[in-house]
Amino acid sequence: MVKRLFDIIASLLGIIILSPILVLGFVSVKLSSPGPAIYRARRAGRFGEVFLMHKFRTMHIGSEHGSAITGAKDARVFFVGRVLRKLKIDELPQLFDILIGRMSVVGPRPEDPRIVAQYYSSLSRETLNIAPGLSSPGSIHYYTHSHLKLDDNDPEQSYVKNLLPIKLAMDLVYMRRSSMWYDLSIILKTAATILLIGLGRKKFSEPAELVEAQALLESANPSLVLDPLTKPA
């Protein structure tokens, strides 16, 4: 109840304070690429229920049928879309998803349903027990380190092998430690990280949750994400 009240207040304030950026994002997409400004992405929410998550569109129309993961040099992304992605402006429409109760400000990032079906183990599915969030320790780590571990030649497979396991493990660590103070610290860290990346910073220290997340991965033999029956050939 307290978390939901916080989500309502925070999303309302976010929409009001960031309304100029929301308008700028909307207009910039409309002027940069033919088609709608808002993209509705199918995501697995709480208990795996599929919902439509809203983002500013950053790819050309018809590009959604390729890889579910976008590489740094993905030709499907138009120039303004790259800027919106870098500064996380493309994610701001999710404030409305938070307001209506589909998401939370802080929680595990919602994943593509196909990736959930193919690569989530029983342990990793624990991240589906709470509402998905706009930000989380795992998503911050992905934001700061994906360029080091994501292969543009095969972004989806490098994602599920090198990034998804630790991202999910860090979000499980968050769930075990969850508190309002922790949520506030993640919100502040998210804002600071976006600012630093916007100013050109490329190297970030490993997060405090990493050690516990790695221990969780090691205990989840053979892997937190890749089960023997679903591991790609």
pLDDT in tens, 66-124: 778 887 788 899 999 999 999 999 999 999 999 999 999 999 999 999 999 999 988 89
DSSP β-bridge partners for residue 40: 54
**pLDDT tens column, 170-208:** 999 999 998 999 999 999 999 999 999 999 998 999 888
CA distances from 215 to 167, 203, 219 (A): 13, 24, 6
CA distances from 57 to 14, 36, 60, 148 (A): 20, 7, 8, 25
What residue type is 154 in one-letter code? Answer: D
**DSSP single-letter state for residue 90:** G
Place 216 in a pLDDT band, splitting at 50, 70 and 90: confident
What residue type is 182 in one-letter code? Answer: Y
- Does the N-terminal peptide bond of residue 222 adopt cis geometry, omega within 30 degrees of 0? yes
Place 43 in a pLDDT band, splitting at 50, 70 and 90: very high
Q: 60-64, 99-103, 138-142 — which is least confidently predicted?
A: 60-64
Residue 140: other Cβ atoms inside 10 A: 22
Place 8 in a pLDDT band, splitting at 50, 70 and 90: very high
Q: Is the pLDDT of residue 223 over 60?
A: no
Place 13 in a pLDDT band, splitting at 50, 70 and 90: very high
pLDDT of residue 221: 59
Mean pLDDT over the full length of the chain: 90
More confident residue, 227 or 136: 136
Torsion of CA 50, 56, 58, 62, to 10 degrees: 50
DSSP β-bridge partners for residue 135: 106
Q: Is the pLDDT of residue 58 over 70?
A: yes
Label the pairing between strands 104-106 and 133-135: parallel
Q: Which of 41, 37, 39 is nearest to 50 (CA)?
A: 41
pLDDT of residue 100: 96
Q: What is the percentage of the chain residues whose pLDDT exceeds 70?
A: 94
